[in-house]
Chains A and B, each alone.
Chain A
Amino acid sequence: MIFWEIAKRNIRIHMLRSTLAMLGIVIGVVAIASMGILGNSLVATVSDSLKSVGDSVIVTPYSGGGGGMGMGGGGGSSSGSLKITDQNFQQIKRVAAPNVAIPVYQTSEHMKIGVGSDDIVASIYGLPTDDVPDLMKLQTGDYNNGNSGCLVGSTFAKDHNLKVGSRISMGTDGSKGTLRVTGIIEERGMSFDISTDNAIVVTDEWFENTYNRNKDYDEVVVKVKDGDTASVKTAIEKQLNKHKDNKIVSVTDSKATMNTIYETFGTVTTFVSAIGGISMIVAGVSIFNIMMMSVNERIKEIGIMRSIGTQKKEVMSMFIYEAAIIGVIGSIIGGILSVLAGYAISALMLGTTKYLLTVANALSVAEGVGFGIVICLACGIYPAWQAANLNPIDALRHE
């Protein structure tokens, strides 16, 4: 239609002005969409590293406060710390059935790797041999088959150059004997139950003998098979924390915790995108401005159009087209650039771009582009309406 053509030509003869307005929209779209992409990629990265946690419920001794998540451990001596008694463990096991409840010993220890090497301190977990495969997978080697065998985390193995068969001298000056590495654990990333990447996993028997422990556990991990972590958590709490004033355990539901983390990321992403939204509003103001200029420059032309039989809505459409052309082109360019920006930000901040091509990111880009177009149209409506409703006689007289 002719009005589309006029809108196009008007943009073309005011190329600089139109380009600047478009630039505003491009920046706005990039700000919104790339922030969305960054947020999505962050969530993807985190959920990827938490994936190995799976659905688990972590039970720790009640310490009066909110209770820990089972990360980290006490100092070298943990004798004074709170424990989960065997009786309590049996209760948890019953309540959690048919899910597997795994009792965990944990401490940290001095050790030496190889002759003349430096004394290091690392976390040690003691686990029942049969339960180890439920918690972790091995990169190489076998699960412990003897008392003096141990598994090491992938980061630990890499940092200290350990292989299957390497020996670790435990305790200050080897006072606690020597362990032989039988397997290297696959990277598990962040986790709520036990953090093995930088730790050593030994048998519960070795742990009990070495540290004089007798079924007083630091933590119990329940692997929930059907994913219903919430009901397992409730059941355990109901059984063990019967008295409000005398709680025995703190129970953490990995799924709920993860959801909280995702929600937090979501909030952050929304907030950052909203800041991007401000730049979009600024861009909208500039669109409004150039549309008002365009109308003011063409008052006489509008008067002529109206006098020779152009309907109000046709005049309006001409200006809406103009805003739409700027909005659509600007937003599409912005969409393309935001993918590139998302790529750059992901590569720089997360060190990986493998989370770029996802549905969530496509939605973020679509959101930015859509918002850009809507803002342009919204900011074009009032000037267009004003143009359409000029008094034709006054408009004709305008010089």
Chain B
Amino acid sequence: MSFRDVVKVYPLPAGDVTALDRVTFRVDRGEFISIMGPSGSGKSTLLNMMGCLDTPTSGDIYISGTRTGDMSDSELTNLRRDRIGFIFQYFNLFPLLNVIENVTFPMMLKSQKSVDPERGREVLRAVALEEPLFTHTPLELSGGQQQRVAIARALINDPDILLCDEPTGNLDSKTGAGIMDLMSELNRKGTTIIMVTHDQHIAEYSRRTIRIADGRIVA
């Protein structure tokens, strides 16, 4: 994935706000990158751009060689579904669906029909969730367990990139460490991970850190 002179301006009544100012960087396959910076520095905007949820005002973003600026909403949606896995601070599981259904949801989106739950179980075992919990609803699980389910959901379609927004921000440090160990292991197996965090300890799990301030990369 690469960003080339990416600018994002939010037009507001009080005046335009430049969230990203000519950002250029490159992420190679298999990297584990953390993005750090103070609030309002443009971290979230950057992550949204990488996740194809937002498009730049100017500049180009390439994901696996495809320029996202030219893509329709539907194509971007499919790109998110097939190539990108999202992990959020608040887990963001669907309360109406049980664990297996949550995990296989992106798979169903892709195949457009019901899917073999065995693949969901396989991924859930890979993220070390206990088997008896598979049929529970998310609200019956602890934070750490929910985040493991969320990671399993993000992994189900074998994405190229895993985008994480403060993945441990809502967990205690011990549980957070468990999640980070899992991420490191996924990275060792080849998954590209880009993680936004403001926690220095968490950032240490990554192999490269991009620091951002006022919409610019500073280090």
| A, B co-complexed | yes
Closest B residue to A2 by beta carbon equals B108
> Which of the 9-residue segments B33-41, B74-82, B194-202, B211-219 touches chain A?
B74-82
Question: Quick check: A9 and B153 within 8 Å, CB to CB?
Answer: no
Beta-carbon contacts under 8 Å, B63-97 to A? 73-74, 77-82, 84, 86, 88, 92, 94-97
Asked if A289 CB lies within 8 Å of chain B CBs, one says no
- B97's contact among A6, A307, A310, by CB below 8 Å, is which? A6
CA distance A5 to B98 in the complex (A): 12
Asked if B31 CB lies within 8 Å of chain A CBs, one says no
Question: Quick check: B101 and A2 within 8 Å, CB to CB?
Answer: yes
- A308's contact among B73, B80, B113, by CB below 8 Å, is which? B80
Chain A residues with CB under 8 A of B54: 393
Q: How far is the CB of A304 from chain B (nearest CB, A)?
A: 4
Contacts A2-B101, A393-B53 given; indicate if A309 touches B96 (C-beta within 8 A): no
Question: Quick check: B80 and A309 within 8 Å, CB to CB?
Answer: yes
Beta-carbon contacts under 8 Å, B39-58 to A? 48, 51, 53-54
Q: Number of residues in A with C-beta < 8 Å to the partner? A: 22
Contacts A1-B113, A393-B53, A393-B54 given; indicate if A308 touches B105 (C-beta within 8 A): yes
Question: Quick check: A2 and B105 within 8 Å, CB to CB?
Answer: yes
CA distance A1 to B148 in the complex (A): 25
Chain B residues with CB under 8 A of A308: 80-81, 86, 105-106, 109, 153-154
Interface centre among A10, A301, A309 (most CB of B within 10 A): A309
Contacts A314-B109, A393-B54 given; indicate if A306 touches B92 (C-beta within 8 A): no
Q: How far is the CB of B88 from chain A (nearest CB, A)?
A: 8
CA distance A310 to B88 in the complex (A): 16
Q: How far is the CB of B95 from chain A (nearest CB, A)?
A: 8
Contacts A1-B113, A392-B53 given; indicate if A311 touches B94 (C-beta within 8 A): no
Beta-carbon contacts under 8 Å, A290-348 to B? 300-301, 304-312, 314
Question: Quick check: A6 and B53 within 8 Å, CB to CB?
Answer: no
Chain B residues with CB under 8 A of A310: 77, 81, 109
Chain B residues with CB under 8 A of A6: 94, 96-97
Q: How far is the CB of B113 from chain A (nearest CB, A)?
A: 7
Question: Quick check: A301 and B86 within 8 Å, CB to CB?
Answer: no
Chain A residues with CB under 8 A of B53: 306-307, 392-393, 396
Q: How far is the CB of A352 from chain B (nearest CB, A)?
A: 51
- B73's contact among A5, A13, A312, A314, by CB below 8 Å, is which? A312
| 14 other A-B residue contacts (CB within 8 Å) besides A2-B108, A304-B88 | A2-B105, A5-B97, A5-B101, A9-B96, A10-B96, A307-B51, A307-B86, A308-B109, A309-B84, A309-B106, A309-B157, A392-B53, A393-B53, A393-B54
Pick the 7 closest A-B CB pairs, nearest first: A309-B81, A309-B80, A304-B92, A9-B96, A2-B108, A392-B53, A311-B77
Footprint of B on A, CB under 8 Å? 1-2, 5-6, 9-10, 13, 300-301, 304-312, 314, 392-393, 396
